[in-house]
Chains A and B, each alone.
Chain A
Amino acid sequence: MKSLIPWAVVVALLACLPLLSPPEYFIHLGVTVLLTAVAGTGWAMMGRYGLVSFGHGAFLGIGAYTMALLWNMAGLSPWVGIPIGVALAAGAGVLLGYPCFRLKVIGHYFALVTLAAGEIVRILITALREYTGGSLGMTPDRVPPESAFLAMQFDKTGFWWLALAAWAGGLLAWWLLDRSMSSKALAAISEDEDAAASIGIRVTREKLKVTLISTGLAALAGALTAQYRMYLNPESLAGLGPSLQIVFGAIAGGMYAPLGPTVGAIITIGLDESLRVAFGTDFTGGAPFIYGILLVLFMIYLPRGIVGIFERRRKPAAAPPALGVPVAAK
């Protein structure tokens, strides 16, 4: 528990940041980075054990649209809607994961099954345009300021605290998982599934556990992002595009360290924003272009991400045998 104290201090300090009354724009950047980091942390929890999902966008979408539809159609507050969305997304994750894990759909096949699932969610959201607004997107109904708290419609500072709480929750989940036997079991599974099963590890159960956490975090990030922007659309919340963006952030930062996806989120958001500020709309396409090059370079030269550089320097011998390290480097 002691190791949690510095983390708690960091979170508390970050929570005090708005007291310095920084410009709104910086809070906006901060919220975006934190929420992206939550999704990336969720993805990396599966990704670092070799469960590479190309469909995490689906869970962002399920979380966000469940929340927004419950609010617009049933008047259910996001405070209730988000937990329902998270539960639904985690349920969907298990529904997809159980047969995959049971029937040993792994590696490429797992990645492509999740890709299909992500696309299904995107197309369903588009096709159900009577309720979701289709590809035009939808906006949650606004409420007058006096009931804003119940409707979770805060200003940027309010969302900073919410996003910070979600981010801290994600890191706590990571920390708890790391200390549990499940983490060892999953590491064993990712090395050799049959061998792990032969020493009594319940492969399906362990994988499902991490899937639950991972998809739940993605849904939380999706719902909060939608509520923060007050706008949802299928292209940015489901399907291959956002899924790959989550993957990119987590990989660039490093998916084997708890802070890796957060570093990745800082890089991706920073890149996006600096390109937008520097070039405006003339440079549309510049961001994905640079992402792409970076992703390739990261895979070739830095498969453990930015955080990986520091890891290796600090404890060269103690570094765990990583899944992402090229065979030649071992």
Chain B
Amino acid sequence: MDPFLLEALVNGILLGGVFALPALGLNLVFGVVDVVWLCYAELVMVGMYAVWFLFTQLGWPLPLAFATCLPIVSLLGIALHYLVVRPLLSSPPINQVLATGGVLFLLQGAMTLVFRTEFRSLGVDMPPMEVGEIFVSGTKLAAFCAALVGAAILWAFLKYTYVGTAIRAIARDREVMPLMGVDPQRIYLIASAVGGALAGLAACLLVVQLDVHPFVGLSFGPITFMICVMGGLGNMLGGFLAAFLMGIIVSVGGFWGTTEFSYVVAFGFFIVTMFARPRGLFAR
């Protein structure tokens, strides 16, 4: 196989790992709370700014900045749920989506006010590694591994803890679970906190690969939504697999054409998928 194509394929898988985290977070929130957080990529953006600020401005060590970013974005998720989503729980879904779209503007505006529109870079990079015939970016590989670990922890949390079981149960049946003594409001809050933490983790992985600016969310936000919808909204495993599919399409598409056209191909693929399987590729 052509080593460059192989490299594109490997990069696609690594990229998929990074897409997978926000896709998992969005799907978790949607599956449990039944609300699409249109501002999810903006939560990630705030996390990226948090890391950048703590690391370059306050001079904190990078791991500590990462560790602080998670609770910050998690709190943001809780605030989002309390202030915006909760008052709208009985509203039509479209109103909920539009309100979180308002939060998208709010966060972009707030970050522009605070940090201006300059591109901020962390300025850390790991040397590329040579594996066989191909070069793999160390940063991307590390991000990929961290994403997998994050996904595994999430899986274990959902599978083996009482709260995790309650979360899965409420995603399955919203009416019956309250009768079983589970307080849905509490579960919604926990899911929002976990969803926020996943956005925080995604922020840590993205901030080493991308420059931060207030509109950075628009560069990976749309594709994250498409991944979730492709995998079936609320279907965590489907979203996880779709993330790798999209990563490979973008990366291999970029091998044959420009990066921009690879995104056009990926988005076009998404639209065609929606026509073929309107409830997602992995819908049951």
Say yes or no: is A11 at the interface (Cβ < 8 Å to chain B): no
- Flag whether A165 is at the interface (Cβ < 8 A): no
Query: Whose C-beta in chain B lies nearest to the C-beta of A113?
Result: B274
Q: Which residues of A have CB within 8 Å of B99?
A: 295-296, 299-300
Considering the complex, which residues of chain B in the window 61-117 have a beta carbon less than 8 Å from any beta carbon of chain A? 83-84, 87-88, 90-99, 101-113, 116-117
Instruction: Decide: B110 and A105 in contact? CB cutoff 8 A.
Output: no
* A to B CB contacts below 8 Å, 14 in the list: A105-B278, A107-B93, A108-B36, A108-B233, A112-B225, A116-B270, A119-B222, A241-B215, A248-B105, A289-B109, A291-B105, A292-B103, A327-B91, A328-B90
Q: Which of A109, A251, A289, A327 contacts B98 (CB 8 A)?
A: A251
Residue A290, interface by CB 8 Å = yes
Q: Contact partner of B264 among A127, A239, A287, CB < 8 A?
A: A127
State the CA gap A32–B184 with chains docked (Å).
46
Judge whether B106 and A96 touch: CB under 8 Å. Answer: no
The docked-state distance in angstroms from the alpha carbon of A283 to that of B116 is 9
Nearest B residue (CB) for A251: B98
Within 8 A of B (CB), among A278-318: 283-296, 298-300, 303
| A12 CB, min distance to chain B CBs, angstroms | 36
Nearest chain A residue, comparing its CB with the CB of B225: A112
Q: Would you call A103 an interface residue if the criterion is a C-beta within 8 Å of the partner chain's C-beta atoms?
A: yes
Q: Is A18 an interface residue (CB 8 A)?
A: no
Q: Is B221 an interface residue (CB 8 A)?
A: yes
Residues of A within 8 A of B97 (CB): 52, 108, 111
CA distance A123 to B112 in the complex (A): 23
Output the least CB separation between B27 and chain A (Å).
12
Shortest beta-carbon distance from A20 to chain B in Å: 36
Query: In this assembly, does A104 line the interface, its C-beta being within 8 Å of a C-beta of chain B?
Result: yes
Bound: A295/B258 CA distance, A: 37
Give min CB distance, B101 to chain A, whole Å: 5
Query: Residues of B contacting A294 with CB < 8 Å?
Result: 102
A143 interface residue per 8 A CB criterion: no
Cα distance A54–B226 in the bound complex, in angstroms: 13
Nearest CB of A to B58, in Å: 22
With a CB–CB cut-off of 8 A, which chain A residues contact B279? 109
A124 touching B101 in the complex, CB below 8 Å, given contacts A50-B94, A285-B110 = no
> Chain A residues with Cβ under 8 A from B94's Cβ?
50, 52, 107, 111, 323-324
Q: B218 within 8 Å of A by Cβ?
A: yes
Choose from A99, A107, A127, A296 the contact partner of B84 (Cβ within 8 Å). A296
Given A116-B271, A285-B109, A326-B95; 10 other pairs, CB 8 A cutoff: A104-B278, A108-B97, A115-B222, A119-B222, A120-B271, A288-B105, A289-B110, A295-B102, A303-B91, A327-B90
User: Is A299's CB under 8 angstroms from B98's CB?
Assistant: yes
For residue B87, which residues in chain A have a CB less than 8 angstroms away from its CB?
Answer: 300
Closest to A282 in B: B113
Question: Would you call A291 and B109 a contact (CB within 8 A)?
Answer: yes
B88 touches A295 (CB 8 A): no
**Most chain B Cβ neighbours within 10 Å, of A96, A240, A244, A323:** A240
Q: Say yes or no: A288 contacts B36, CB within 8 Å.
A: no
A residues 92-129 near B (Cβ < 8 Å) are 96, 99-100, 103-105, 107-109, 111-113, 115-117, 119-120, 123-124, 126-127
Contact of A244 among B101, B110, B225, B267 (CB under 8 A): B101
State whether B107 touches A292 (Cβ < 8 A). yes
Question: How far does the alpha carbon of A286 sit from the alpha carbon of B109 in the complex, in Å?
Answer: 6
Q: Which residue of B lies closest to A116 (CB)?
A: B267
**CB-nearest residue of chain A to B214:** A285
**Is the pair B104, A292 in contact by a Cβ cutoff of 8 Å?**
yes
Is the C-beta of B4 less than 8 angstroms from some C-beta in chain A?
A: no
| Residue on A nearest B106 in the bound complex, by CB | A292
Assess the B271–A96 pair: CB atoms within 8 A: yes
User: Is the beta-carbon distance between A286 and B113 smaller than 8 angstroms?
Assistant: yes
CB within 8 A of B218: which of A54, A116, A126, A241?
A: A241
Q: Are A296 and B91 in contact (CB under 8 A)?
A: no
Query: Which residue of B102, B111, B218 contacts A240 across the interface (Cβ within 8 Å)?
Result: B218
Is the pair B111, A299 in contact by a Cβ cutoff of 8 Å? no
Contacts of A60 in B (CB 8 A): none
Q: How far is the CA of A283 from the CA of B114 in the complex (A)?
A: 10
- Nearest first, the 3 A-B pairs at minimum CB distance are A285-B112, A292-B106, A295-B102
B residues 218-237 near A (Cβ < 8 Å) are: 218, 221-222, 225-226, 229, 233
